[in-house]
Every structure is written in C-alpha cells, then in structure tokens.
Structure 1
Amino acid sequence: MIQYDYRISFNTPAFLGNSEQTGQWRTPPLKALLRQWWRVAFAAGQHASVDVETMRREEGLLFGVAADGREGSRKSRIRIRLDRWDTGKLKTWDRLEQAVVHHPEVEKTRYKVGPHAYLGFGPLDGRHNTRFSEKVNAAIQAGETATLSLAFEETHRKILEQTLWLISHYGTLGGRSRNGWGSLSLTPSNNESPALDGPLESGKSDFLLDWRRALKRDWPHGIGRDERPLIWRTSACDDWKFVMRQLAEIKIGLRTQFKFLNNMRPPHQKPLDRHWLSYPITRHSVRGWGHARLPNSLRFKVRHDGKGKPYGVVVHVPCAPPAAFSPDLAAIEQVWSRVHRFLDDPAHMLTRIPA
C-alpha cells in the first residue's frame, strides 16, 4: 500500500455541518470530494469515449459500494484518515462581514446586501447584520489545518495523483462551496507525497474540454475552454474576507445582467435566460420544474499566491442540465457565451489564467 499525507488547510471558512449542524472535521465530505474529482480524472483518461457504466463500476471498486442487487457490497480500497475530528473554532461572524455591495434587485434593503451573506445564504443569515443561521453552531475557520492520510494500491497512484491535483487547484468543501466557502489547499507532509502546487506533469490538457461539446453530457466531467481555459482570477488581497466580497460582486453582476422585466410574472410558462444559470430563483419559478434544483456550473475558489496573499478563482465546469429540465441547448449556449464575455470584460478586472 502507498500512503500519502497532506496538510489540509482552509483558505476560507467551511460550513461542514455534522448531524447537529456544527462545523466539524470529518472524513465523509472529503471522500465525497475525492469521488467528485476522481470522475473528472477518469473522464479525462477516457477522452470522448467515456462510458458512464464503466466509470460507476470502477468508482465502486475503488471507493466502495453498498449492495445494489447486481454485484453486492464492496469495501473501499482507499483508506482515508484525519488526525482530528473536533469541531470548528469559528463561533460567530461578528466583525467578519465586509462593506455592503450593490444588488440592483433587492429593493427592500435599498439595493444593498452583505457580500458574505449573499454568497453564504443558508449557513449565514443576512438580516440585521450577517450572522450564523439559527441551526448553525460553528464553522471551521480560515487557517485551521489537519493532516489527511490516504492509503491505496499502486495501480491507483496515477489517477489519485491527478484527483488530488484537481482538488488542490479547484476543490472546495461544505455548504455553499460552489461560492468559494470551504476553499482548501493541500500541502505534502512528507517526502513521499507529491507536491500539488505546480503544473500537472502529464495529462493536464485532457481535463480541458470544448465547453460547447461538454454540454452533451449532464454531469461535470471537465474544465471548459474556448481558445483558452475558462478560468479567471482576481487580484490578490490582504485577506480572504475582501476576496469573498469581490466574488460576490462578480456573481451579482453576471446574474443580474439577465433581467426580469416587470411584465414577467411568475410562474413563468417557460424558462428565461437566467433560469439556465441556476435554479430555483426566488420569486421566479418555472411552470413544470417544481422543486427541481439546477446548480450553477461556475465554481469559485480562493487560493494563495507565492507571497501568501489570497485571490479568487472563477472556473467553468460546463455540463447540460438533467433531462427533466428539457434543456434548450441553443439558449444555454447563448447564456454561457454572455457569461464568458462578462468575465472577460476588462471592467471587471479579471485575468484569464492557465489550468
């Protein structure tokens, strides 16, 4: 067995709730994150011919599977261990929220919202100053660390190294993690564990997919590209709190460019452009979609540069909505083309970066 040890550190607070909604270091979310990015690494190795049934079988063999009536239960062939299982140290949001940002659709608060509350809606309550929601008792604060150990067989070394590289660059964990909360970094704790901060030695380009072709599958299987990778970064800041403010302004801007006019009364008979970004949208339901959920395929992350200063990353992981949404691919392409142009606009002070 091979064992890799990494120091896992959070660059932003993580809402890793246990059964009591208290933030706690736990291995199940880490295993889920490994499986998520393992699928991307697997798809990259198969190029355009990835077979979902084969992928599910291989995933079950590596990570374990409960009895499904065909091949029976299997134990995981990868062992995961944390050196701590205690609760997070962040007990209050006092003095963390940043200055309010403009939101053109929130009339009742004079078109101003707290940026952390906006990106953390659910775990965070933005009413009367940002604070934890009633059910949240604690979170893992930025800067907290633990040692993550992985043990596995030699035959899985390459794909797991690719998976860890993807997690280090793009992975986030916990509630509202697509908005940048729970941004994590992985640093080797011994000489046997490969560094993950540089370029991937081989196969990196396989993770980059023509974003329009990626819409042929309804699950995240790669990072989008046009002529360049669909990855943007903000400028570096002094701390994570202001980076999250920047990301909130970016998300508000790219969403509200798709406007709901006064004569557009819900429930909408058919989806409008903004519905293809993510769903549900408060007060703008679509007839026939019911309680379905469509997550945004843009992911936010906070990293540190060579000087230890944090900056924000926006990455597009494109895929089609599930068939239940009856996706209109022509409309979806048009929507995401506008989002890409928005992020490329020099006025928003973002820079395209390599994968």
Structure 2
Amino acid sequence: MKRLEYTVQFVTPAFLGNAFQQGQWRTPPFKALLRQWWRVVKARECDYDHSRLREAEGCLFGHAWLKDQSGKQWAMQSRIRLRLAEWRGGRMQQWQNDPPVFHKEVGISGRKIGSHLYLGYGPLTFKRHKGTGLKQTPAIDANEAIGFNLGVTAQDESDLQRTLQFIHWFGTLGGRSRNGWGSVSLESLNQQNGFNLAPTDSILSGKAIQELLKFSRPLADCLQLDWPHAIGTSNERLLLWKSRFHFDSWSQAMQELARIKIAFRTKLDAPVGKAGDRHILAYPVTNHKVNGWLENGRDTNRLANQLRFKVVQDKNNKYWCLAFHLPCGLPEMLQEKLGPNKISTDDQLRVWNKVHGILDKEMKRIQGTQEGRP
C-alpha cells in the first residue's frame, strides 16, 4: 500500500461541526469529499450508470450491504486508509468584520446586508447590537492546516490521484460549503514518490481545461440524471468561471461571491406557492415556498445547489473566486409532488442558460490556452 502525504489547509473558514455542532477536524467529512469527487472521476467509465458506480464505490470505500445482486450476504472493508494528524477543535471563537453587499429584495427598496451572513446563514447568524456572529463556537479558521495521509493500493492510485487533484481545485467542506465556505487546499509532501498536484494557477490560466474536459458532459445530457456526475459544458465550453479580479483577503472574495449570487438569483422569478425559475437553482427559497413541496405546512424537502463556489489562492497568495456547475435534473420525487405542473427539462435548460449568461457578464469564463498562456 502506497502512502500519500499532504498538508490540508482551509482557504476560507469552515463550519465542520461534530456531534455538538462545534468546529472540529474529523476524518468522516474528508472521506465523504473523496467519495464525491471520485464519482466525478469514475462516472464516465461506468457509463453514468448509478448502479455500476455504486458497486464500484462500495468495493473501494467499503460497504455493509446485506445482499449482493444474487441475494448472497456481502460486506467489504475499505481499500483506502485515511488519517488526519489529529482531531482537534477549530480556533475561531469570534467572527470579524462582515463586509456589506446590496440586495434589492431586502426591505422596501433594497438595502445592504452582511455578505458573509448571506452566504453562510445557519452556521452564521445575526446577533442584535453585534452583527454577524457564529451560531456555535468554535469554527475552523482560514489558514488552519493539518497533516492528511492517504493509504492506497496500486490499482486505485491513479483514480485517487485524479480525485485529490479535483479536491485541490474544487473541493469544499462543511456547512454552506457550496457557497465557498470551507474551501480546501492540498499540498503534497511526497512529490518525490511520483505525484505532484497541479497548482490552482493551472485552473486560473486555463492550462488545465483539456484535462477537465475528460470529465465533462453537455448540460442537456447532465440534466437527464438527477445526481451530480460531471462538470457541465455548453457550446463545448466548460461551465467554469473565475472572478474578473483577484483580492487581498478571503473576506473580500466571499463578498464578491455574495454579490454574484444575488445578481443571478434576483434575475429569476420566484412566485409564492408554485414552482418558478429560482426554485430550480436550490430549495427552499426564503419567503417563496412551493405548496406542493410542503409537508404539513413545513418546508421539509431540499434541493441542493448545483452551481458551486470556491475561493482559491494563486502563486502570489492572491484570492480568486471560482464558480462551476455540476448539473443534474430535478429529482423525480420533487417532480411528482408538483402534479401536472412538473418542470420540464427544457425549462430547466432555459433557466440554467440564463444563469450562465449572467455569470459570463459578472465573471470570466475560463477557457483553454496553449501552454497555459491566455
């Protein structure tokens, strides 16, 4: 078994709660992150068949299924050994400044709100006379780092190296991580053993685009499945954007992501009582419930964000915002609850194309280059 050694660091604060909702370095979330990006790496090889992918995943990560396809008892230990140097608590006890962003739908004619609170509501809360604060202390602060070791077999090494590369480029962990919180950075400590992570600059410059295209799929095809399995493409271009400018701090980068998210969400209708365009992005939507998705008057159904954010640092330690789309269709369970008012795939495609058009204006689409030169 080969041992891959890394330092893992958070670029933005992470809300990685334990059983008491206190921020703590723990291995289960990292194993879940490995699974998430391993699926993207392996999905095409399994012809995007969730049954084949699930079986391959169980064989690699271990499972406790009672029966196999022939009805026999079947369980398997993981072929991966994952270890953090220690399970320690986070070091952030108090939230600092929350830079404002304008939201036109707040109040009568719009007003400024906390950008961090907007992207992190839940782990973050508003405290009277104090402003934005942590709902539960501690959290894991930006720049906290720890040793991360992965034991892999020779047969799995190639797939897991690709998976770790994707995590370095796109991985986020913890509460509200799809909004950019808990942005992960990896640094290899055993480059001499044959594997060196490509830097985030290779994404920002476009040098990595050809590699990413191997794990991409056209948007319309992605919407035929209800689980994230590839980075989407539109007109043969990846659905991948970076901010138009770099920033001096993670706080400023998160402020920019809040501005961008408000920009595309407020351009979509969200009628009260029935499903509208904005409900396709994620659900629930504050003050815009869908009657068919209520259970005894409560919002118990969930639709996770497909359009994800991350904050990365370049070689000069400047911060950049990334946005990328892992598209999938609206789950059939939610569709059935809409009755005759189901949202067609064409409507989903229309909404996402509109969102992508807004991102093309607010950010910069990352495109391929020759030898990494724009």
Question: How far does residue 211 in structure 1 lie from its aligned partner after superposition?
Answer: 1.1
Is the contact between residue 114 and residue 126 of structure 1 (CA under 8 Å) also seen in structure 2? no
2-structure distance, mates of 1:259, 1:330: 17
**Selected match of 2:293 from 279, 289, 299:** 289
Query: In the alignment, which residue of structure 2 is the partner of 1:298?
Result: 307
2-structure distance, mates of 1:324, 1:68: 26
Superposed, 1:216-255 pairs within 5 Å as 216-227=224-235, 228-234=237-243, 235-255=245-265
Query: In the alignment, which residue of structure 2 is the partner of 1:179?
Result: 179
Question: How far does residue 109 in structure 1 lie from its aligned partner after superposition?
Answer: 9.8
1-structure distance, mates of 2:155, 2:348: 39
Superposed, 1:181-196 pairs within 5 Å as 181-190=181-190, 191-192=192-193, 193-196=195-198
Count of residues in correspondence between the two structures: 340
TM-score w.r.t. length of structure 1: 0.91
Aligned residue type for 1:19: A
Task: Find out whether 1:315 has 2:316 as its counterpart.
Answer: no
Question: How far does residue 201 in structure 1 lie from its aligned partner after superposition?
Answer: 11
Query: In the alignment, which residue of structure 2 is the partner of 1:27?
Result: 27
2-structure distance, mates of 1:83, 1:65: 25
1-structure distance, mates of 2:158, 2:210: 10
Q: What SS does structure 2 have at the residue aligned with 1:213?
A: helix
Task: Find out whether 1:351 has 2:364 as its counterpart.
Answer: yes
Question: Which segment drifts farther, 61-70 or 107-116?
Answer: 107-116
Question: How far does residue 239 in structure 1 lie from its aligned partner after superposition?
Answer: 0.5
1-structure distance, mates of 2:318, 2:138: 25
Is the contact between residue 278 and residue 295 of structure 1 (CA under 8 Å) also seen in structure 2? yes
Aligned residue type for 2:13: P
Aligned residue type for 2:246: A
2-structure distance, mates of 1:79, 1:196: 23
TM-score w.r.t. length of structure 2: 0.87
**Unmatched 5+ stretches in structure 2:** 295-299, 336-342, 369-374
Q: What SS does structure 2 have at the residue aligned with 1:57?
A: helix
Deviations along 1:51-71, whole A, 9 cap, x unmatched?
Answer: 221111110111111233334
Superposed, 1:248-267 pairs within 5 Å as 248-260=258-270, 264=271, 266-267=272-273
2-structure distance, mates of 1:170, 1:318: 15
Is the contact between residue 9 and residue 146 of structure 1 (CA under 8 Å) also seen in structure 2? yes
Is the contact between residue 164 and residue 196 of structure 1 (CA under 8 Å) also seen in structure 2? no
**Selected match of 2:77 from 75, 78, 86:** 75
CA-based RMSD: 1.8
Q: What SS does structure 2 have at the residue aligned with 1:45?
A: coil
Aligned residue type for 2:60: L
Question: Which segment drifts farther, 220-229 or 201-210?
Answer: 201-210
Question: How far does residue 108 in structure 1 lie from its aligned partner after superposition?
Answer: 7.0
2-structure distance, mates of 1:109, 1:96: 25
2-structure distance, mates of 1:43, 1:67: 21
Distance 1:288 1:86, change over 3 A: same
Query: In the alignment, which residue of structure 2 is the partner of 1:329?
Result: 345
1-structure distance, mates of 2:15, 2:97: 15
Query: In the alignment, which residue of structure 2 is the partner of 1:62?
Result: 60
Aligned residue type for 1:341: G
Question: How far does residue 127 in structure 1 lie from its aligned partner after superposition?
Answer: 4.4
Deviations along 1:313-337, whole A, 9 cap, x unmatched?
Answer: 0001111111012242111111101
Distance 1:149 1:109, change over 3 A: farther
Q: What SS does structure 1 have at the residue aligned with 2:166?
A: helix
- Same amino acid, percent of matched pairs: 41
